[in-house]
């Protein structure tokens, strides 16, 4: 039998940093990444045969748990009919019909192979539709790894954005304006400074990439009215929140309608998928009907469509998200109580099957606040949980994910492990 350490050394000789997505390398928590051999229901098994309760859920897609029999059966059946055609298939229409039915303002959908492609294409579409150049994003929100979106606030409240990655031209980053989440004044100030230049504002309506940050009451209503007033498109990036916080996504929860939505993760059921959705008059600016180019060899891939359709079918069962929210709430309450018993400053919250834990007493409302967590304590907690067979996302600034496969027993085991870990990191 192999070990995680041996596999990491082997991988590091041929894969950059031993991984194919940076955060998997465990840099934010230290230690050796676990190499997963198998996953089923609420569990992962590593190459050493150790079992973990899975709160990573592949970073969001696995809302019905791993290897759900219906999803696997549909993917197997689809595979038997061919892996990729590069020509239309009927499942693309079926999945698009489901999305249109669940999101009232979505009349047209374009599938991609990742969330990154969806948000990147949505920006191009917004720029093409409005004929404007600048975009607004929020500090701490993540929208995938495209150039215009790997940008953070520069120094000074109204400064141009600066790249968060080498290789992103400063000239390009300058078109990305960065505001503060839950701070409408910071958004209004950008619109006032560039009243005719902003093509779109992109936001994670319930943020999950600076840990889980909930929108303050009125925040999205304020964004909606600013975008409408200045003629910019409001884009809800629901790649993480869509189908996960509620069947109708965060827009159902917050009750605000964006101009465009981007999806991914859950709609692929674990296969590579992204999507852009919106009204026909905007979406039809895209090729082949309009001048905004967008394409993908594997877009609408039959296996991905099959996995997505099966997953949407399962989560459309009445009461699915209410049950998920309730069970996840038990976990969050259990963790909070365990931390309190150990005297560790801690808070947690959740929405549907998306949750956040924070090593700080108050629940954070923006990126700056979440940065004030006790990250060193989180790192120690992280490894104590991993040792006890609980796999959390390996970073203090990521949300964690709950699925319908997690049982009361899994919750109890997790809270029990957390009690020991909190006691060990207290003081
Ligand atoms: C994961 C994520 C993306 C990027 O999706 P990929 O499939 O990883 O490219 C974009 N936006 C949000 C909100 C995400 O959580």
Q: Give the pLDDT confidence score for residue 156 in this predicted structure.
A: 60
**Beta strands 274-278 and 233-237: pairing type?**
unpaired
Cα(209) to centroid(ligand 1), Å: 9
Q: What mean pLDDT, rounded, does the chain reach?
A: 97
Tell me what percent of the residues of the chain surpass a pLDDT of 90. Answer: 97
Please report the DSSP string for 54-95 in residue order.
ESSGGGTT-TT-BT-HHHHHHHHHHHHT-S--SS--HHHHHH
Residue 159 has pLDDT above 70, yes or no: no
For residue 273, give the ligand 1 atom closest to its CA.
Answer: 7
- Crossing angle of the two packed helices 184-193 and 219-230, in degrees rounded to 10: 10
For residue 272, give the ligand 1 atom closest to its CA.
Answer: 7
Q: Give mean pLDDT, residues 270-280.
A: 98
Distance, CA of 63 to CA of 222 (rounded, Å)? 31
240 within ligand 1 shell (Cβ under 6 A): yes
Q: What angle do CA 416, 422, 427 make, to 5 degrees?
A: 155
Residue 160 has pLDDT above 90, yes or no: no
Answer CATH for 4-67+318-425 from 3.90.1150.10, 3.90.1150.180, 3.30.1490.20, 3.40.50.300: 3.90.1150.10
Nearest CA to ligand 1 atom 11: 143
Q: Give the pLDDT confidence score for residue 157 in this predicted structure.
A: 52
244 within ligand 1 shell (Cβ under 6 A): no
**Beta strands 198-203 and 134-138: pairing type?**
parallel
Residue 293 has pLDDT above 90, yes or no: yes
Residue 158 has pLDDT above 60, yes or no: no
What are the tens digits of pLDDT across the range 86-140?
A: 999 999 999 999 999 999 999 999 999 999 999 999 999 999 999 999 999 999 9
Q: Give the pLDDT confidence score for residue 149 in this predicted structure.
A: 94
Q: Give the pLDDT confidence score for residue 79 in this predicted structure.
A: 98
Domain covering 69-315 in this structure, CATH number: 3.40.640.10
Could you state, in order of their start, the residue ranges of all structural domains in the chain?
Answer: 4-67+318-425, 69-315
Tell me what percent of the residues of the chain surpass a pLDDT of 70. Answer: 99
**What positions carry a catalytic annotation?**
142, 237, 265
Cα(143) to centroid(ligand 1), Å: 5
pTM of this structure: 0.97
Cα(2) to centroid(ligand 1), Å: 32
Q: Give mean pLDDT, residues 371-389.
A: 97
Distance, CA of 184 to CA of 255 (rounded, Å)? 17
Cα(114) to centroid(ligand 1), Å: 7
410 within ligand 1 shell (Cβ under 6 A): no
56, 57, 265, 271, best to mutate for ligand 1 pocket (most atoms within 8 Å of CB): 265
What are the tens digits of pLDDT across the range 190-239?
A: 999 999 999 999 999 999 999 999 999 999 999 999 999 999 999 999 99
């Amino acid at each position: 039998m192999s070990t995680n350490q041996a596999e990491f050394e082997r991988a590091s000789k041929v894969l950059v940093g031993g991984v194919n997505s940076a955060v998997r390398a465990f840099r934010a928590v230290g230690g050796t990444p676990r190499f997963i051999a198998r996953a089923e229901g609420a569990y992962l098994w590593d190459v050493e045969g150790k079992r973990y309760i899975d709160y990573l859920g592949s970073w969001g897609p696995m809302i019905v748990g791993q290897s759900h029999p219906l999803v696997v059966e549909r993917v197997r059946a689809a595979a038997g009919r061919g892996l990729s055609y590069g020509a239309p298939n009927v499942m693309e229409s079926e999945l698009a019909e489901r999305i249109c039915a669940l999101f009232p303002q979505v009349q047209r959908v374009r599938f991609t192979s990742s969330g990154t492609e969806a948000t990147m294409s949505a920006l191009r579409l917004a720029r093409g539709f409005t004929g404007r150049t600048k975009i607004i994003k929020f500090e701490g929100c993540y929208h995938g790894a495209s150039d215009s979106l790997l940008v953070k606030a520069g120094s000074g409240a109204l400064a141009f954005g600066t790249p968060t990655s080498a290789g992103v031209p400063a000239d390009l980053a300058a078109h990305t304006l960065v505001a503060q989440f839950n701070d409408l004044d910071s958004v209004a100030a950008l619109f006032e400074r560039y009243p005719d230049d902003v093509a779109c504002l992109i936001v994670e309506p319930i943020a999950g990439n600076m840990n889980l940050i909930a929108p303050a009451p009125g925040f999205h209503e304020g964004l909606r009215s600013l975008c409408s007033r200045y003629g910019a498109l409001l884009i809800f990036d629901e790649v993480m929140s869509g189908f996960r916080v509620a069947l109708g996504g965060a827009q159902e929860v917050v009750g605000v309608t964006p101009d465009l939505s981007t999806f991914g993760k859950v709609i692929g059921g674990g296969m590579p998928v992204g999507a852009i959705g919106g009204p026909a008059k905007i979406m039809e600016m895209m090729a082949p009907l309009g001048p905004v180019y967008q394409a993908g060899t594997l877009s609408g891939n039959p296996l991905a469509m099959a996995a997505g359709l099966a997953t949407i079918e399962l989560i459309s069962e009445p009461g699915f998200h209410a049950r998920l929210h309730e069970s996840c709430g038990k976990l969050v309450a259990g963790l909070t109580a365990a931390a309190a018993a150990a005297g560790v400053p801690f808070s947690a919250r959740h929405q549907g099957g998306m949750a956040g834990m924070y090593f700080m007493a108050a629940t954070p409302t923006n990126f700056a606040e979440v940065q004030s967590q006790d990250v060193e304590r989180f790192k120690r907690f992280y490894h104590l949980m991993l040792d006890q067979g609980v796999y959390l996302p390996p970073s203090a600034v990521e949300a964690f994910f709950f699925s319908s496969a997690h049982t009361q027993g899994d919750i109890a085991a997790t809270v029990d492990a957390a009690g020991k870990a909190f006691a060990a990191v207290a003081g």
